[in-house]
Structure 1
Amino acid sequence: MDSVTTITSWEQAFESHRIPETRAIEKQLRTSATRDKEKLRSLVGGSYRDLLATADLIVALDTRTRTAEDHLSSISHACRPPEQDASPSSPSVDKVILAQLQLLQRCATTSTVLLRQRKALQCARLLVVSRLLAKSVSDQEVASKPLEFLRNKIGHIRRQLLRQVDATLISPHSQSPDLLEALSSYSLVTNASSADALSHLFQLRLEKLQRHLDTTSGSNAVIGEGLRYQVASLQTFKSLIGRPLTEAVANLQKRPILAEPVFRDMESLNLDRLWVLIPSDIQSFVPYFKRTVLSPDEIKAKLEAWSRDACAALTGALKKHLSNLRDVDRVLELRKELYSILLPLYFSTPARNEIQQQIKTALNGRLDNLLRSQVTQLETIITKLLNAGNKKTRYHSLWDSELAHSGVNSSGGRFAQQVKAHHSGYHEALVKASRSLNKWITSIKATEDLFEQLSRVRWRDMVEEPDEEDEEEALQIIKDLSQTDSDGYKKTLKSSLDSALETYSSTITKAATEAETANTGTEGVTMLLRSIRMTSSALQEGFSGSTNFSSIGKVVVKLHETLAAATIAKLTASTEEAGKKPGQTVTSLPENMPSPRAFLVLQKLCEIMFDIGGTDIWSRPAVGRVKDHCRARIFASEHRSWYMENAFDEAYLLQALKTTSSSDEKPNADALQHAKAAAEYWTRTKLLFGPLA
């Protein structure tokens, strides 16, 4: 039969194959069936023999097991304690005392082990039992020395346990189950109620916070850790007060202490043998605690009271630390750090409003003081400027022989410095004060930028997700931190700045008045003008929207008048007292050329102006006042002959001393011709008279 062909029924065999093939298939099938029967018979026989061998082995093992059990039973029977007398007679007093001492010793040893394993609650329970045993033995007035030794040992363990409990209570990393166990242990050891234990926790946390904040190395980290500890403590109190603490205390009263399975199963106590010798009042002792159920209002009041004490300590340390901060940016950095700690836990923290308000008050108060102090530095700078003006500085001539004959490599810097000194009235003290002023203006601008950056802080990402009823409060907090506080800081800075600028104006006015009345010469006036120029230009450039120096302008005009009067007085003294007498003329001059006398007048005037203030002080208004005074003096009929010799001199001097505000009389034909020629000659020669040009 083909191995590939598969026959599913006998009809298929007759339909698909011929008769001889069908017979061959039948024969093949019968042979295969016979072979399979033989294989099956061999397999069954082998398995049956293996089964019989396994059964024999099981019977042998069972016999050996029974023999071993009988042997163990005989050993146990031989080792059992002697039979106790079943009569109801009570044990002797000595046995009872000895058993209690033995149990007391075992309690002390076991408590030490439990304390080492940080199982505070079990240790506290054994200490309660130890106290009862010690009292029971002491009533018998026997075994005083062993009892005293055990009492001292129990007292030492008790102190160690209380220290361990306190360490757990003050640790900010302790979880609620650990804290509840520590509070229960404290109540057991000290016979305190749950309210007393909670008060102990409050006191420990407050003292821990105060010790932390009282450290001499005050820093942002110390204040931040103090706030974090306060917030964590409030959340811990919130999770403990009420039902959790009540249930923890109630669990201590469910059954007698020695009836607890954990103690009955302790081999170190050996209660199985000592149980019958322990007094029944100790066997059935259940600790009692005074239960105080607090209402929600009482809980809130307790938390707020603790928070007030903690806030007082935190605020005191914060103010002390803030007093050491001299920069606004450091205060704002501390502000951001504190709010970054408070806001993520804000709405889940009891008494949150008081904490936030205390922090805000301390920070804003310090910022206000710093802003006012920073702004009032302007008064100190102005005072230095005015004092610097009292120091007289002389400038070397640009044609000084030492400077002129020195090499370029060695004196190029000196020459440039002298040019700068002549041009701008360089004064070392004034320059230093001016640098201080520029530095102050830069610091004010930097402070304004810091306040602008407050609105860019994403406080919303820091605030804890509020409930629906707290949504408005969250929005208000974000608005206060990003906008209200920033606007308040800017307003304080602006008001302080306006006040400082007003003080600046009044100080300058007062200094100008004193300079006029003191009659100290032109040196003080010129230095005061330089001070005004340096300060007013810098302040107007830095605070264009806050400056209004109209009074300063009036002061400058008065100072220019003083300088002009002093200049003309010196010119008069050098010309009318030392010059040639009127009427003395020189030889005839070319046409349309001033006389040496007129030329010399202008030259002396420039020398006097340079001697008084250098080139920097003679601004256009100042030169105008000098020209007005000089024109009024030299063109007076009684003084005219000291300064000019002919009509062209008059026209030339009039052209040199002409100002935009001066009004000329209508000249006649000759005077008009002289005026035109004088104007042309002045145009060619005015650069010889630098300040007047």
Structure 2
Amino acid sequence: MAITEPDVGLLTSSAQIFSSNHTLPQIRAIHKTLHVQVDDKATRLRTQVGGSYRELLGTAETIVQMRTDMEGAQTTLAGMGGRCGRAVVGGKVTALASFVDHEQEQSSLSLAARARLLEACSRTVGRLLSRTNPDLSANAASKTTKASARQQRHQNRQQQQSWGERLMLASKVLVLSRLLLSGMNEKSGDVPSSKTRSKQSALQDAAVLSSIEASKRTLGSLRRRLRDIIEVVERSVPTTASEKAAAEAEEADDDDIDGANEDGGDDEDAREQRDRNRTLSAAATARDDLLRALCAHSLATTSGARDVLWQLLHVRSQAMALAFEMDDEEHQNHHQADLGQQLLDCRASWKADNVLRGLALYTKTLLDVQALLPHRLPEALLGLKRRALLDDDALRQIEGLRLDVYSRWCGEDVQYFKPYIRHNDLDATQAREMLSKWAERGSEVFVSGLQKALEQADESSTDKPRPGQPPAIRRYLDMHAIVDLRTRVLQLWIHDSSKARGFDPSELLDKMRAVFNQQMLQVLATKVGKLRLVGSEVAATLASWQDGVSDRHAQLWGNSNTDKDYKAIDTDLSEGAVSFVRDVVTRLHGRSDVVAKAVTSYITWRHVVDDVAAVVDQLRKQRWDNDMDDIVEDEDTIAQRQQLLSKDDPQTLHDRLEAALDTAFQDLNTQIAAEWAAVAKSDTISATTKGNIAMYLVRVLREIRSRRPATSSSTAVGQLGLQIIPELHAAIVRVVVVSPLEQFTSKTLTRKTVAGRGLWDVAGTSAALPSTPSPGVFRFLRDLSTAMDTAGMDLWSPAAVAQLKKQVSEQLGEQWTKLLETADYLQETAEKTNGSKDDDEKEDTSTSSTEALSADDRRDLLKQWLFDIAWLRCSVGSDSASSTTGKKDKSKKKGIAELEDAVFKRTGLSEDKEANGSGSRTPQQRISKAALDYWKKTSLLFGLLA
């Protein structure tokens, strides 16, 4: 049960408290309550006493102040009464004149002080806008201590000012100078013209005015220079990541480098992270400078946020356009000392730099505008309006201005001036619309500039320069330069476009792909089409063909009698065997000077085509992943980009390369065939010359076919020259066989005696038959093989040898058959006449003779001919393959085969089999077998015919 607390207000004495009606807890509660009430009343009493005391003190102070005021009023009234006297008023009038002169002097001093401040402003702005980086802070003149070199360099870097800070200070100083000039009202008479002024004061005022005019002119030029430098800062772009890392590495402290070397160097991940941090830091610094430059432009021109953004976009668009307008003549003037290939490489370099600069300007504009708007730029502009201009700490720290001295001579319009800038006239929607329109126009400018930079100079132009004009140097970007530029441009766009918000990077990527693909296809077609130069070289050689000069080539073993211009092969291997092997191969393949020209032209073209194929392989191996840690791309986007850049584009190039190679080889084949057709139909060219030209064409075609592009599967490449090669072989054979056939016909076939008749083979009761060919036939094959060797061993492919055997067989059969039918001494009805020849009549000994042979001599001669024909059939006969087996196709006998049958019929030999030591064979079979055996023994003597 709870204890009821008694009411303290009803208690009047202590007895009531300690009565038996209250328990001990109740007494304690009463005691506590009484103490609380006592403390409360004491507090209220103290409060009332304190309030009353303060009121008394206030009343006392008021009384004292009233007394002081009364004393002051009495003193003033006494003074006024004392100054109202006649003498006092007269003294005031006298002093008034001197007071006017003092005011004039004060005005002159104020004007001189402001003129000095104006001069200081011009000097300060000049130093701020100079190329050097002056240290204008108040603490710049710090004493040199014994700190380490590393700390010294660190302090120097901290003391240096960036261009953004310098432009901000320069714009503020120019605003101050503008205020000073506007406050100097020369027409209202800042310099009073009083007659009482001294001549020295007038001269001083004139000097001040001339100083002000000079400062005006100086500040006007400095304002223009400020605007130019602001535009330079606005259109400046940071370097690439690798260049930034290299620049930062060069600026690294020596102690850090030495420490890294001692520790064995950082690992690759740490180095990449450090380079990335440096790159981000450099980009942030550049963006801060850009923000300060925009603020400086706003201060200098009192422009709002909207005007500042328009000015930035305008400057960037102009910079993008100018990046592609540097023409060849201007660049040649900058690099007049570099000629030849250096100039070509330099051209490719500056074209790539211009393209990368244009793209960097485009991407940097997108990123900068999105980073500065809608918050950073308005906040920075708002910060310029928060305090008076002369209260700016940066201005007061400039020692050259001396604002602590000159500020009191400035008027209130200068001392309390705050810049008025519209910072809230641009919202996020308007900024986004302006940036979108600029991005659309900027992409068109970049694509057109990229296309202009990739345009190829017309090498086929033969226009001569005008008199007094230097010849233009033909330059163009090759495939490697285009692919390198493509890689750098696309990597930069992929790296930076992923950071931009609200833009589809695939649109500009497709446009750039189209431009690069178009240019690469054009360069590919141009380079592959240069195969026509090989045909032009062949046509030029045929047009200027000279017998004995164009067809001269060195023999493998050398021949001092016929090849006087060619020495024997130098076998000195003291300096290596490269030159020896090259000389042997050149002579073995018949590479004369004219052949070497055409082959060299083709090899040059082949290297170009191989480079194109290597470029295609390089494009297929490229990876297009974005390596930024803070940007996560969709896997479908990466896969689609990889498909477009590393599969579709290379496949397009490969298909176009195949089509271009097919067309180029078809044109070359048509051109060479037309040249040979013109030579073959010409009546003014001898057969020997035609044969030499055919040798030249065969060698050229062989060299080209042996070096066909390995990557091409075109049928035109494989069919090059196959149409005219049989005609070329026929022309070569006609030249080679003409001399041996003439020698054989004129000397061998006219012989009536049989050499070696006593060595004929006699087997048992069989008739005696020859076992060796006649010396003339042997000499014929020797002359034929020698002629083939003289023409060149490289010419005699199996098809050429087959053509030679065919022609030799046909011509031998034709001439031998004609002799067999027309010679008198081979006819059985010829009468033997011993009469002497008439001195006035001379007949051809190859077709007739005045002396007829006896039957035995004629049969012996025909038997020897039969052996010779059988032996020739083994070497040059078209049916030699069937004759080796002793079987002949009667329906397909041509040339020597027909001749052999005709001679056999005239020999009188029986077609019946004879019994001899080797079995039962007919005489013809015995001769064929003996001829075949003899050919096997002697075939190696005629290597090309074997």
- Length-normalised TM-score, structure 1: 0.71
Measured on the aligned residues, the alpha-carbon RMSD in Å equals: 4.7
Q: Which has the higher contact order (CA 8 A, sep 6+)?
A: 1
Pair 1:533 & 2:702 matched: yes
2:616 to 451, 464, 467: 451
Once the two structures are superposed, what CA deviation does each residue of 1:559-610 show, in whole Å capped at 9, x if it has no partner?
Answer: 223333445554554444x336758334662322323343344344334444
> d(CA) in 2 for partners of 1:332 and 1:131?
54
Deviation at 1:523, TM superposition (A): 0.9
> In 2 relative to 1, CA 261–344 (structure 1 residues): closer, same or farther, beyond 3 Å?
closer
> In 2 relative to 1, CA 262–574 (structure 1 residues): closer, same or farther, beyond 3 Å?
closer
Which residues in structure 2 correspond to 1:582-593 (within 5 Å)? 584-586=752-754, 589=757, 590-591=759-760, 592=770, 593=772
CA contact (8 A) 1:655 1:678 kept: yes
CA contact (8 A) 2:553 2:592 kept: no
Once the two structures are superposed, what CA deviation does each residue of 1:210-241 show, in whole Å capped at 9, x if it has no partner?
Answer: 66663726425733455434433442233234
> In 2 relative to 1, CA 236–675 (structure 1 residues): closer, same or farther, beyond 3 Å?
same
Deviation at 1:524, TM superposition (A): 0.9
Match of 2:293 in 1: 182
Deviation at 1:131, TM superposition (A): 3.6
Deviation at 1:444, TM superposition (A): 3.1
| 94-103 vs 110-119, which moves further | 94-103
Match of 2:805 in 1: 627
Question: Which amino acid in 2 is paired with 1:460?
Answer: D
Match of 1:616 in 2: 794
Question: Which amino acid in 2 is paired with 1:686?
Answer: S
Pair 1:108 & 2:244 matched: no
1:658 to 871, 874, 877: 877
CA contact (8 A) 2:121 2:177 kept: no
CA contact (8 A) 2:553 2:587 kept: no
1:328 to 476, 479, 484: 479
Match of 1:150 in 2: 212
Match of 2:658 in 1: 494
Match of 2:437 in 1: 301
| 495-504 vs 347-356, which moves further | 347-356
Which residues in structure 2 correspond to 1:243-258 (within 5 Å)? 243-253=375-385
Question: Which amino acid in 1 is paired with 2:805?
Answer: K
> d(CA) in 1 for partners of 2:795 and 2:700?
11
> d(CA) in 1 for partners of 2:122 and 2:419?
22
> d(CA) in 1 for partners of 2:234 and 2:755?
114
2:310 to 196, 199, 202: 199
CA contact (8 A) 1:325 1:331 kept: no
Pair 1:222 & 2:375 matched: no
CA contact (8 A) 2:556 2:588 kept: no
Return the structure number with greater helix share: 1
Pair 1:672 & 2:719 matched: no
Which residues in structure 2 correspond to 1:323-472 (within 5 Å)? 324=475, 327-349=478-500, 356=509, 359-384=512-537, 390=545, 391-393=550-552, 395=554, 423-431=588-596, 433-438=598-603, 440-462=605-627, 472=636
Match of 2:368 in 1: 236
> d(CA) in 2 for partners of 1:557 and 1:417?
30
> d(CA) in 1 for partners of 2:391 and 2:756?
142
* Partner SS, residue 638 of structure 1: helix
Deviation at 1:507, TM superposition (A): 2.7
| 202-211 vs 260-269, which moves further | 260-269
Deviation at 1:308, TM superposition (A): 4.1
2:784 to 584, 605, 614: 605
Pair 1:554 & 2:723 matched: yes
| 371-380 vs 537-546, which moves further | 537-546
Deviation at 1:451, TM superposition (A): 2.4
* Partner SS, residue 795 of structure 2: coil
* Partner SS, residue 722 of structure 2: helix
> In 2 relative to 1, CA 129–450 (structure 1 residues): closer, same or farther, beyond 3 Å?
closer
Unaligned runs of 5+ in 1: 1-84, 86-90
Question: Which amino acid in 2 is paired with 1:585?
Answer: T
| 596-605 vs 407-416, which moves further | 407-416
> In 2 relative to 1, CA 526–264 (structure 1 residues): closer, same or farther, beyond 3 Å?
closer
| % identical equivalent positions | 19
Unaligned runs of 5+ in 2: 1-79, 81-98, 129-135, 137-164, 192-205, 239-284, 336-346, 459-473, 574-578, 761-769, 824-845, 848-860, 883-887, 891-900, 902-910, 912-921
CA contact (8 A) 1:120 1:161 kept: no
> In 2 relative to 1, CA 212–269 (structure 1 residues): closer, same or farther, beyond 3 Å?
farther
CA contact (8 A) 2:871 2:928 kept: yes
CA contact (8 A) 1:606 1:689 kept: yes
Match of 1:268 in 2: 403
> In 2 relative to 1, CA 409–193 (structure 1 residues): closer, same or farther, beyond 3 Å?
closer
Once the two structures are superposed, what CA deviation does each residue of 1:399-434 show, in whole Å capped at 9, x if it has no partner?
Answer: 957899xx9997779999998677543424424543
CA contact (8 A) 1:108 1:153 kept: yes
> In 2 relative to 1, CA 401–568 (structure 1 residues): closer, same or farther, beyond 3 Å?
closer
CA contact (8 A) 1:264 1:271 kept: no
> In 2 relative to 1, CA 477–106 (structure 1 residues): closer, same or farther, beyond 3 Å?
farther
